[in-house]
Every structure is written in structure tokens, then in C-alpha cells.
């Protein structure tokens, strides 16, 4: 692979070049004020008329001509014949220029006596008090909010000139299929330009997505030429990542100037900038997270420099839940999930890979690691920019451990009670570690059935971090999978495939061997570990091994025979004191609800005998005894 990026431009230099190399486009459009929310005022907006248009009374009393009252005093009262009775808010007839309060009037025979002269405009809410005709309502550059639109309507403004910018977005790549088409093997849905369109439209841009252009320099050139003619800014997506066939750079060079290709930013390194007919052409990398960085850190600042509103950036300071490594010399942007554990805001980094599109979906913010920083230790205080409502943080429980489909319905039910659950799937041991370091509210774990819990190594090693409670969600059958229906006693004479120590299947195997009096060295393949039960089943199906431990559903999905030997339990493990938290009371009630049980039964494959029961383990690692006989006969 040719390294195109020997000399990468620093991010700040790239941004200076980007925002200073182009004329600001002059486009505006006139739209109805009812659809103007979030748009930017292009020409100052003036009131169409005064509000109120006529003088109104500010008091209950009489409207008078002020000159008729000159000289009135207690000793020399003046009697008025011309006046009009008014209440607060009434129109003052044009002949009158002042109001005298009801309590300052002595009325007899339809005439009014006053003992004090009235100054012009006294107690008058003058025409134009709220707004004068032709007075400025909104200056150029104002970003329109919902309540501004009320004022615009009040002052007679029905349409408004706002900034507009036309952005052309070109997807390139022979492997792409359009949004809405199911990709064949090796094909990918062209989703980056869909995302770009939504993102940029939100800023007020008028986006045109061009049809997908295959990897053909002539066709890319043709489309780019058209897009530059029709737009103020062109984004050309994919084809700009090293290692794939890349014609974008040469096409830009053939039509104009290449300003930069490759910036010291991750993800997003292959970003490129060209100038064709004086207009910017921004090359968007194909990997989704890289494309996101370029949209947020390049395209958005360019539009901001043209007067478009930035996305609201709400920064919070969080304690980093785990160490974060960053490449020296690169500005890195990392998706972060922010949650509150007790008094602390805790930030958990989400997958750094450019592929992992779910990481920004699962995160609610991101952090910017500057180029000179090599990373941060766990516990560092860090600034995170949120991508969601900060209020949702307070309503969110963090689950770290092993995800099972049984959790999904619980998450949905919790939301209906106003609780958000942020669940990640790093596995049992990271889940227990997170519980130990107070980096999660609960660890959903797949555990060997309760009678084997005391011999489950990751849990016994966890002892000392405080009392734990185990909230049982569901049990699943574990057994020996094979082509021919092998049993425990057969394990000494076949090729076995094992799972890692943190898996319940490993604990179950060890218990089985102990019961049968078999030493692990007698099992051919005991040391051959794969990641989990699904890999075990594939290894057996592919003929790599003859037997292994997995769940009944995985065995049947791989057409293997299955000999049940134990249960594994899916449990929510929490610090004991958390049981007093009202949010966990809600969760336990949901787990015990008939609705949730019915949903699990509908999914199938779950034993719900223990669902909703809670057992404890004290801080020294001793498990409280479980009632006997709560599992079906024949199981450990």
C-alpha cells in the first residue's frame, strides 16, 4: 500500500486554509416565517406596522385634550365638556392626547371636573409602544427561534429572506448500492451521503445528492463538473481512502487545484480539499466515522464561517472511565458515552475503529484529543461535547457486561417508565471490573447456574469490592454439542473445543469433569480456546472438533445434537446498596412483571423459574446459599 500521507497537514492549519480560501456565497431565499426556524436572517427584517397602531389607554378613566386642562388645580378646577370614557386597553379617540384616571375626576351632569392639568401622553400607551413601523425586528445574521416567529407574525412579517447555500454531494464507488437497495455480497449501502444530506440540511443547506458514480475517472469528472456548476460547495464521498482505488484527487487536479489531501486527524485522515472555479470541493472518506469527522469538523466550520448556525455544543467535564490511547501528532475525535454514577459524570470511550458505525449511535458525545496528547489515564477529567439532551444523562443507567436478547425488551420497557439504559457488551470480566471501579450501575452477566457460582473464577476474584446482589433475569440450557450426540463420559476420547475462563460454559465443563472424575489433561483440546459458544458450534460444524459446550439454541442453529447438562443464568449484578435506588426498584418490578415474562416466553429458549429472584454475595466473596430444588431434576 502506498503511503500517501507522508506529510499530513495539522488540523488547525487545514481549517484556516479551508475557511480563508473561498468567497462567501451570496445566496439567499425567501421563505415563509412558519418554516424559518433555525434559519439565518439574510436581510434585516423591519416591522410592517406599529404595534399598537393607535394610542390605547393605560388606565381606566377619561381621554381628554391636554390643552383643555392647562391651569387646573385644587383651587381652580377645570370643567371639561369634551372627553371620552376609556378603560385600560381601549382605543383613545384621535381628538384626545391624554388620559385622566377615574379617581382624579369629579363627575356631575355628564361633565367632568379635573383639579390637575394633564401632560400630553399621560396614561397613554402610545401607538408604536411595542414596535414602531419600519423599526428593526431582526438584524442580519440572527438565527431564528420559535418565539421569534411569534414576534414576526405579530409585526406583520409573513415571509423572510434567509441565507441559503447549495451543496452538491457525490457518492463514488463501484461497490456501492443506493440507499434502500439491499446490498449483495461485497456491496455496501451508500449511506454516507444520506447522513451528509441530513446533517447539512439541519444547518440550513440546500443539498443535492447525485446518483452513485462508479470508480471511473471520466464519469467522476463529468459529475464533479456539473456539481461545481450547480452548487456553492461540493462534497465528494469515498474513493478518498488510501488502499482503495482513488480517482478523486486526480479528477480534482484535472478540473482545478488540489489544496490539501491528508490531514493529521483521526478518524478522517484521507480528507481532501480542492478548488474548482473558485468553489470548494471537499473529499469525504468512505468509512462512516471518518465521514462524520469531516462533516462535523470541516464542512460545518466552513458553513459557520459563511454565517450558518453551528450545532449547539454543550460541553461537560467527565471522569474518564478507562484509559484512552491517542496517536501523537493526530487530533483525534472519540465517541464517548457520558453517564452519571453518584456525583460523578463518567465518560466511557466507544470503539475507535472507523468501521464501527454503532459507536456514535451508542455514544451521547465525543471528545477531542489534541495532536500533542498521547492519551489519558483512567480517571482523567476530560471535556466532552454532548450530542444529546443533557437531561437524558440523569435518567440513564449504565449496564456493562454481556448482552443477551432478553435485555432488549427490558430496555424498551424501562424507557416507557422514563428510564434510559445504556448497555455495552465487552463481556463478563470487563463488566465486573466496571462494577468494581464504580464505572457502571449494573453488570448484566451470563453466569454458570447459581450452584456453580462460587467456583466461577471471575466472580471469586472480584471479592472485596463490596456486597453484590444478583437479580435473575432468565436461565438458558447449557450442554454438550456434537455431531453424533456425545455425553460427558465421551469427552476423554474425542477432540474437544473449549471456551475461555470468563465464560460460564468453561465453569460448567470444569464442574462436569470433576463430577465424572476426569482430569483436564485427559481431554484432547482442553487448552484449545475459542471466544465463546457460537465459535464452539462453528468449530464442531466445520469438523475442527467433535464436542464442546454451548447453549441449546446455538447448537440447534448449527444443526448439532445437544445433551443438556446445566443452566447458565442471565443476571443483573449490582452493588447491594443499589437495590435501594428507586430506578432499580422500577427495574426489578419490570423484570417480575407478567408482561416481561410473557415477552421472554414468546422469544423462547428461556427458563423463567428464577426470574426476578434476588440473591446476595458478601464482600469477602461468600455466596449466600441458594434454595435447593429450584432447578429441574438432573441439572447441576
Q: 389 to 408, contacts with a second copy by CB under 8 A?
A: 389-392, 408
* Cβ atoms 197, 207 nearer than 8 A: yes
By CB under 8 A, name the one of 140, 340, 500, 597 that touches a second copy.
140
Cα separations in angstroms, 302 against 22, 39, 171, 306: 9, 16, 20, 6
Range 266-325, binding a second copy (CB under 8 A): 288, 291-292, 305, 307, 309-310, 312-314
Helix and strand tally (H, E) in the chain? 17, 37
By CB under 8 A, name the one of 208, 254, 357, 593 that touches a second copy.
357
Q: Which stretch binds a second copy (CB under 8 A): 3-11, 271-279, 382-390, 619-627?
A: 382-390
| Residue 494 in the binding site for a second copy (CB under 8 A) | no
Q: Indicate the residue among 198 and 325 with the shorter CB distance to a second copy.
A: 198
Q: Which stretch binds a second copy (CB under 8 A): 63-71, 105-113, 473-481, 627-635?
A: 63-71
Q: Indicate the residue among 243 and 595 with the shorter CB distance to a second copy.
A: 243
By CB under 8 A, name the one of 387, 439, 503, 507 that touches a second copy.
387
* Cβ atoms 498, 593 nearer than 8 A: no
* Cβ atoms 200, 292 nearer than 8 A: no
Question: What is the SS3 assignment for 243?
Answer: coil
| Residue 367 in the binding site for a second copy (CB under 8 A) | no
Distance, C-alpha 401 to centroid of its chain: 21
Q: Indicate the residue among 187 and 438 with the shorter CB distance to a second copy.
A: 187
| Residue 358 in the binding site for a second copy (CB under 8 A) | yes
Joined together, the cell numbers standing for residue 464 give 472485596
Residue 567 CB, shortest distance to a second copy, in Å, is: 24
| Residue 174 in the binding site for a second copy (CB under 8 A) | no
Q: Cα–Cα distance between 504 and 516 in angstroms, integer?
A: 18
Strand-strand pairing, 159-163 and 28-32? antiparallel
Binding mask 149-168 for a second copy (x = CB under 8 A): xxxxxx-x-x----------
Residue 368 CB, shortest distance to a second copy, in Å, is: 15
| Residue 2 in the binding site for a second copy (CB under 8 A) | no
Residue 586 CB, shortest distance to a second copy, in Å, is: 14
Binding mask 462-491 for a second copy (x = CB under 8 A): ------------------------------
Q: Indicate the residue among 150 and 625 with the shorter CB distance to a second copy.
A: 150
For 615, residues 6+ apart whose C-beta sits below 8 A from its C-beta are 450, 469, 470, 472, 623, 624, 626
Torsion of CA 173, 178, 179, 185, to 10 degrees: -70
How many CA within 13 A on the CB side of residue 635? Answer: 22
Beta-sheet strands, E only, within 371-419: 375-376, 381-386, 396-400
Range 106-135, binding a second copy (CB under 8 A): 119-121, 129-131
Q: Cα–Cα distance between 182 and 184 in angstroms, integer?
A: 7
Residue 635 CB, shortest distance to a second copy, in Å, is: 29
User: How crowded is residue 636: how many other Cβ atoms within 10 Å of its Cβ?
Assistant: 16
Range 219-258, binding a second copy (CB under 8 A): 243
Range 81-110, binding a second copy (CB under 8 A): 88-89, 91, 97
Residue 143 CB, shortest distance to a second copy, in Å, is: 7
Q: Indicate the residue among 196 and 258 with the shorter CB distance to a second copy.
A: 196
Cα separations in angstroms, 125 against 92, 95, 132, 426: 9, 15, 13, 68
Q: Which of 479, 504, 365, 351 is nearest to 427 (CA)?
A: 504
Q: Indicate the residue among 453 and 539 with the shorter CB distance to a second copy.
A: 539
Q: Indicate the residue among 484 and 624 with the shorter CB distance to a second copy.
A: 484
By CB under 8 A, name the one of 199, 298, 330, 470 that touches a second copy.
199
Range 4-33, binding a second copy (CB under 8 A): 33
Q: Indicate the residue among 34 and 79 with the shorter CB distance to a second copy.
A: 34
Q: Indicate the residue among 198 and 328 with the shorter CB distance to a second copy.
A: 198
With 0-12 / 13-18 / 19 or more C-beta atoms within 10 angstroms meaning exposed / middle / buried, residue 227 is buried
| Residue 604 in the binding site for a second copy (CB under 8 A) | no
Cα separations in angstroms, 554 against 496, 537, 539, 551, 559: 17, 7, 12, 5, 9
For 172, residues 6+ apart whose C-beta sits below 8 A from its C-beta are 212, 213, 214, 215, 220, 236, 237, 238, 239, 247, 248
Q: Which of 162, 193, 357 is nearest to 282 (CA)?
A: 193
By CB under 8 A, name the one of 20, 108, 343, 542 that touches a second copy.
542
Residue 317 CB, shortest distance to a second copy, in Å, is: 14
* Cβ atoms 615, 623 nearer than 8 A: yes
| Residue 459 in the binding site for a second copy (CB under 8 A) | no
| Residue 334 in the binding site for a second copy (CB under 8 A) | no
| Residues forming a β-bridge with 547 | 482, 496
Residue 155 CB, shortest distance to a second copy, in Å, is: 8
| Residue 457 in the binding site for a second copy (CB under 8 A) | no
Amino acid at each position: 500500500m502506498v503511503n500517501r500521507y507522508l506529510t499530513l497537514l495539522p488540523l488547525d492549519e487545514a481549517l484556516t486554509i479551508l475557511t480563508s480560501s473561498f468567497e462567501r456565497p451570496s445566496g439567499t431565499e425567501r421563505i415563509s416565517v412558519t418554516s424559518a426556524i433555525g434559519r439565518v436572517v439574510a436581510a434585516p427584517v423591519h416591522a410592517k406596522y406599529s404595534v399598537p397602531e393607535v394610542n390605547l389607554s393605560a388606565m381606566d378613566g377619561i381621554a381628554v385634550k391636554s390643552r383643555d386642562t392647562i391651569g387646573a388645580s385644587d383651587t381652580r378646577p377645570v370643567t371639561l365638556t369634551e372627553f371620552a370614557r376609556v378603560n385600560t386597553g381601549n382605543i383613545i379617540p384621535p381628538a384626545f392626547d391624554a388620559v385622566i384616571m377615574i379617581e382624579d375626576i369629579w363627575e356631575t351632569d355628564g361633565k367632568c371636573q379635573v383639579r390637575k392639568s394633564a401632560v400630553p401622553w399621560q396614561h397613554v400607551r402610545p401607538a408604536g409602544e411595542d414596535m414602531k413601523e419600519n423599526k428593526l425586528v431582526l438584524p442580519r445574521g440572527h438565527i431564528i427561534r420559535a418565539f421569534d416567529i411569534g414576534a414576526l407574525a405579530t409585526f406583520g412579517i409573513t415571509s423572510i429572506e434567509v441565507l441559503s447555500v447549495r451543496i452538491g454531494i457525490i457518492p463514488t464507488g463501484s461497490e456501492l448500492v443506493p440507499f434502500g437497495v439491499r446490498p449483495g455480497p461485497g456491496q455496501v449501502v451508500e449511506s454516507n451521503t444520506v447522513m451528509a444530506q441530513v446533517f447539512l440540511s439541519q444547518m440550513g443547506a440546500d443539498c443535492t445528492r447525485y446518483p452513485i458514480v462508479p470508480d471511473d475517472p471520466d464519469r467522476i469528472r463529468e459529475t464533479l463538473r456539473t456539481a461545481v456548476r450547480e452548487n456553492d460547495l461540493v462534497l465528494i464521498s469515498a474513493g478518498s481512502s488510501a488502499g482503495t482505488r482513488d480517482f478523486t484527487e486526480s479528477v480534482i487536479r484535472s478540473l482545478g487545484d488540489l489544496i490539501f489531501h491528508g490531514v493529521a486527524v483521526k478518524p478522517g485522515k484521507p480528507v481532501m480539499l480542492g478548488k474548482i472555479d473558485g468553489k470548494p470541493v471537499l473529499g469525504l472518506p468512505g468509512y462512516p466515522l471518518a465521514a462524520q469527522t469531516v462533516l462535523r469538523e470541516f464542512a460545518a466550520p466552513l458553513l459557520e464561517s459563511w454565517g450558518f448556525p453551528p450545532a449547539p455544543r454543550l460541553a461537560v467535564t467527565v471522569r474518564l472511565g478507562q484509559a484512552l490511547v491517542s496517536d501523537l501528532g493526530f487530533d483525534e475525535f472519540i465517541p464517548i458515552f457520558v453517564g452519571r454514577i453518584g456525583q460523578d459524570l463518567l465518560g466511557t470511550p466507544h470503539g475507535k475503529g472507523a468501521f464501527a458505525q454503532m459507536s456514535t449511535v451508542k455514544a451521547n458525545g465525543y471528545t477531542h484529543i489534541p495532536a500533542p496528547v498521547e492519551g489519558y489515564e483512567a480517571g482523567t477529567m476530560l471535556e466532552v461535547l454532548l450530542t444529546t439532551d443533557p437531561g437524558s444523562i440523569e435518567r440513564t443507567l449504565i449496564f456493562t457486561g454481556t448482552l443477551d436478547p432478553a435485555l432488549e425488551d427490558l430496555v424498551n420497557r424501562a424507557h416507557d417508565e422514563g428510564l434510559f439504559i445504556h448497555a455495552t457488551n465487552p463481556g463478563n470480566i470487563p463488566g465486573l471490573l466496571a462494577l468494581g471501579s464504580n464505572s457502571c450501575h449494573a453488570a448484566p452477566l451470563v453466569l454458570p447456574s447459581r450452584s456453580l457460582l462460587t467456583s466461577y473464577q471471575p466472580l471469586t476474584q472480584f471479592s472485596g469490592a463490596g456486597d453484590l446482589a444478583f437479580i435473575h433475569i432468565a436461565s438458558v440450557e447449557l450442554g454438550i454439542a456434537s455431531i453424533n450426540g456425545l455425553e460427558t463420559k465421551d469427552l476423554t476420547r474425542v477432540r474437544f473445543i473449549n471456551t475461555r475462563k470468563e465464560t460460564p460454559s468453561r465453569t460448567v465443563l470444569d464442574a462436569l469433569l470433576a463430577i465424572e472424575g476426569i482430569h483436564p489433561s485427559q481431554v484432547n483440546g482442553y487448552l484449545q480456546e475459542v471466544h465463546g459458544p457460537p465459535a464452539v458450534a462453528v468449530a464442531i460444524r466445520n469438523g475442527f472438533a467433535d464436542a464442546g459446550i454451548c447453549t441449546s439454541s446455538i447448537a440447534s442453529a448449527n444443526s448439532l445434537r445437544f445433551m443438556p447438562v446445566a443452566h447458565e443464568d442471565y443476571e443483573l449484578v449490582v452493588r447491594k446498596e443499589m437495590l435501594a435506588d428507586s430506578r432499580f426498584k422500577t427495574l426489578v418490578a419490570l423484570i417480575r412483571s407478567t408482561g416481561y415474562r410473557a415477552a421472554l416466553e414468546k422469544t423462547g429458549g428461556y427458563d423463567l423459574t428464577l426470574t426476578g429472584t434476588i440473591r446476595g454475595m458478601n464482600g469477602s466473596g461468600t455466596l449466600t446459599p441458594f434454595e435447593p430444588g429450584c432447578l429441574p431434576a438432573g441439572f447441576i
